[in-house]
Amino acid sequence: MSSIFLGLLLAASVSVASNAHAAEAERRETFDFKTWSIQRITLPQAGQPAVSYYLSPPKTKAPLVLFVQGSGCIAPFSGLGTDNRSASIFPYVGLAMGGRFAVMAVDKPYQTAGRQDGEPNGALECSAEFNKHYSYDTWLATLRTALQHALARPDVDPSRVLVVGMSEGGVLAAGLARAMPQVSAVALVGSSGTTQLYDMIASTYQGSGSDADKLKELQLIEATVKQIMAEPDSVSKFAWGHTYRRWSSFLAQSPADNLLQSKARVYIASGMQDKSVPILSSEAMYAQLRMRGRDVTMVRVPGGSHDLLTEAGGREQVQQEYDAIVRWFEGR
């Protein structure tokens, strides 16, 4: 489910507007297609990288749907304003073209500017600036700034906000729901439910090796975590494809705990054959929320992979899973 080419779109015209009264102006770029458009809004921040987000305006004032991408530094969009444009967030384009929602995505600071055709490899291929800056806290702060700005738009209904977090993005979706009461609904797709450390432990137990092999793997995980926690701010040392700084900040987060501190309705979708995040992590989150009386829906996709894809299905089948999320959101 890597880059999705926007081949159905005609050549886009681009317009740029800015606030002339500010030394570092807010910048707005509009990319117009045949029946819809994408706006890119860039917000300067003193002493910090600018916050840049995309929003496809609805036809009338409408709820907002924010997609939060998974790990790595691949941009949500690349090549806008050119003939070689693409989107890396699978369900964004179809939902935006319908015009019934304000559809939003946010750039990670210092992300890769161009298109990446290969499979993502954690942060090993990201820039030094990206890895130096990136952590759970800095990414959450970026998302909060972008979402707060978008909610002030006259075409957005701030009382109806859905955050869809995919993979690592689910950890941030839960954190946003805790940090921002405006988030009324959260959907987590292929996301950790307890902690990412639990995910690794559960994956080890689900492996096919002997108990002795699993014990060695568990000991290696513990040794690596010990090294990370001894240097939690290191941006030069890597484990499992990411910096120690990234891991120390994410390992401390529990999506289930954060959602319990929010008022958001929760939708969980997990592939039953997910090899990246074991469905047991989602099940543990579901059980915790369910028995605390929360409004939570759990969808288990038989044969589904990390991105909900099945051998018998395809992109259309995955799109149906995202359509179900939208119907759930609209149902209240």
Q: How many CB atoms lie within 10 A of CB 172?
A: 29
Higher-pLDDT residue of 121, 28: 28
Beta partners for residue 273, in sequence order:
none
What torsion, rounded to 10 degrees, do the Cα atoms 87, 90, 91, 94 define? Answer: 50
pLDDT of residue 17: 67
Band (114; pLDDT cuts 50, 70, 90): low
pLDDT of residue 120: 57
**DSSP conformation class of 73:** S
- Order of strands, sheet of 77-78, starting from the edge strand that comes earlier in the sequence: 4-5, 86-87, 77-78
In the predicted model, what is the mean pLDDT of residues 56-77? 96
